Amino acid sequence: MILALRELRRRPGRFATAGVILTLIAVLLMFLGGLLDGLIQASTGAVRAQDADVIVYSDNAQASLARSRIEPEVRETIELLSAVTEVGGLGVVQLGARVPDAGPRDLAGVALFGYELAPTGVPDTPADGEVYADEVLRADGVEAGMELLLGPARSPVTVIGFVSDTSFNGQGALWASPATWRDVLDANRPDARVSGEVFQALVVRGDAEPDDLAAMIDRITAEYHTASATRSLSVPDAVNAIPGVEEQQGTFNQIIGVTIVIALVVIALFFSLITVERAGLYGVLKALGARSSTIFAGLVAQAVVVTLIASSIAAALTIALDAALPPGSLPLAVSADRIITSVLLLLVAAVVGCSFSLRRVLRIDPASAIGSSS
Sites of contact with other proteins (CB under 8 A): 17-18, 20-21, 24-25, 27-28, 31-32, 35, 58, 60-62, 64, 66-67, 69, 94-96, 104-105, 107, 109, 151-152, 170, 188-195, 198, 227, 243-244, 246-247, 251, 255, 258-259, 261-262, 265-266, 268-270, 272-274, 276-277, 329-331, 356
Shortest CB 124 distance to other proteins, Å: 28
> Please, what is the minimum distance in Å from the beta carbon of residue 18 to other proteins?
6
Smallest gap from Cβ 75 to other proteins, in A, equals 16
Q: Is the four-CA dihedral 119, 125, 128, 130 of positive or negative sign? A: negative
Q: How far is the CB of 297 from other proteins (least distance, A)?
A: 22
Kindly tell me which of 86 and 237 has the beta carbon lying closer to other proteins. Answer: 237
Q: State the minimum distance, in angstroms, from the CB of residue 230 to other proteins.
A: 12
CB of 251 to other proteins, least distance (A): 6
Closer to other proteins by Cβ: residue 21 or 122: 21
Provide, rounded to whole angstroms, the least separation between the CB of residue 99 and other proteins.
13
Task: Report the 3 state secondary structure along the chain.
Answer: CHHHHHHHHHCHHHHHHHHHHHHHHHHHHHHHHHHHHHHHHHHHHHHHCCCCCEEEEEHHHCCCHHHCCECHHHHHHHHHCCCEEEEEEEEEEEEEEECCCCCCCCEEEEEEEEECCCCCCCCCCCCCCEEEEEHHHHHHCCCCCCEEEECCCCEEEEEEEEECCCCECCEEEEEECHHHHHHHHHHHCHHHCCCCCCECEEEEEECCCHHHHHHHHHHHHHHHCHHHCEEEEEHHHHHHHCCCHHHHHHHHHHHHHHHHHHHHHHHHHHHHHHHHHCHHHHHHHHHCCCCHHHHHHHHHHHHHHHHHHHHHHHHHHHHHHHHHCCCCCCCCCCCHHHHHHHHHHHHHHHHHHHHHHHHHHHHCCHHHHHHHHC
Considering beta carbons, is residue 21 or 217 the nearer one to other proteins? 21
Q: Looking at beta carbons only, is 194 or 287 nearer to other proteins? A: 194
Closer to other proteins by Cβ: residue 96 or 126? 96
